[in-house]
């Protein structure tokens, strides 16, 4: 009798998992965040939410002494873990170019290999303000990847 109970429980869990996946197929529109590739596989993130494997990009903004700045973030996810990061710089002046460049040069060592749920950077290679835009973009990507 026990084996049939396991089958019933498994079938119920599989049905719940499938229902969660179907519901997650229609993400809310997130301005600036769009998957550029998706393998179609998905996994549970450390927060218990579902993240689809693929490459996602979003822009984040932050305020510098020169005004509002934008930084582009592209993350590749596999099993909820960041496997690659690419920063697109959108500098409005030489200082922003310098700090976004330093940030872009140092961010991979802080995020590659970590769960997307653990990402929250504060200062990277001497650049602290760019981190705000990066973190904002990560939140958009997390929403899109679910």
Alpha-carbon dihedral of residues 136, 73, 109, 91, nearest 10 degrees? -90
100 within domain boundaries: yes
Confidence of residue 27 (pLDDT cuts 50, 70, 90): very low
23 within domain boundaries: no
Domain of residue 123, residue span: 31-145
pLDDT computed for residue 29 by the predictor? 35
Q: pLDDT for 90-120, tens place per residue? A: 999 999 999 999 999 999 999 999 999 999 9
pLDDT computed for residue 126 by the predictor? 86
Higher pLDDT, residue 40 or 50:
50
14 within domain boundaries: no
Beta strand 34-44 with 81-90: parallel, antiparallel or unpaired? unpaired
1 within domain boundaries: no
Q: pLDDT for 120-140, tens place per residue? A: 999 999 899 999 999 999 999
85 within domain boundaries: yes
Interaxial angle between packed helices 94-106 and 130-145, expressed in degrees from 0 to 180 and rounded to the nearest 10:
50
24 within domain boundaries: no
Confidence of residue 48 (pLDDT cuts 50, 70, 90): low
The candidate with the shortest Cα–Cα distance to 107, out of 130, 90, 91, is 130
Number of domains in the chain: 1
53 within domain boundaries: yes
The residue written with tokens 């705000």 in the block is: 132
9 within domain boundaries: no
pLDDT computed for residue 44 by the predictor? 54
């Amino acid at each position: 009798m026990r084996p049939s109970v396991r089958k019933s429980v498994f079938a119920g869990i599989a049905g719940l998992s499938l229902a969660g996946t179907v519901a997650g197929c229609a993400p809310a529109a997130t301005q600036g965040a769009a998957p550029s590739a998706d393998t179609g596989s998905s996994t549970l993130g450390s927060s218990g939410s579902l993240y689809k494997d693929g490459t996602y990009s979003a822009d984040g903004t932050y305020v510098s002494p020169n005004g509002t700045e934008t930084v582009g973030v592209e993350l590749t996810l596999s099993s909820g873990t960041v496997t690659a990061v690419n920063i697109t710089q959108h500098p409005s002046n030489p200082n922003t170019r310098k700090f976004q460049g330093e940030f872009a040069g140092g961010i991979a060592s802080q995020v590659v290999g970590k769960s997307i749920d653990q990402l929250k950077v504060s200062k990277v290679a001497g650049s602290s303000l760019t981190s705000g835009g990066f973190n904002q973009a990560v939140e958009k990507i997390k929403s899109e990847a679910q």
